[in-house]
Amino acid sequence: MVNIQAQTTYNDVAGIFWNKCATCHNPNGNGQFDLINYSETVTRMSAIQNAITTKKMPPWQMGLSFG
């Protein structure tokens, strides 16, 4: 049996945000707001969860060479 724990802390998901979101959501990116640190990210968690579950983000399927 495999024990799978939910990733619930910022440290657990920070790498995902850095690699998948902050490429656009940074001061010089195309995102409407920054997602490069905890305080910027946590205030938008409900909207982020909605955007991911409804597949609004990422807005297109990025190629491997993007970013």
Nearest one of 37, 7, 39, 9 to 21, comparing CA atoms: 37
51 by DSSP, 3-state: which?
Answer: helix
Structure token digits, residue 27:
């001061």
- The pLDDT, as a whole number, for residue 62 is 54
39 vs 35: CA distance, rounded Å: 9
Rounded Cα gap, residues 49 and 39, in angstroms: 16
Task: Report residues of the chain scoring pLDDT below 70.
Answer: 1-8, 60-67
pLDDT at 26: 94
DSSP class of residue 3 equals -
- The pTM for the full model equals 0.69
Domain boundaries of the chain, sorted by first residue: 17-53
Question: pLDDT value at position 12?
Answer: 79
In the numeric block, the tokens 């807005």 are attached to 59
Return the pLDDT at 61: 58
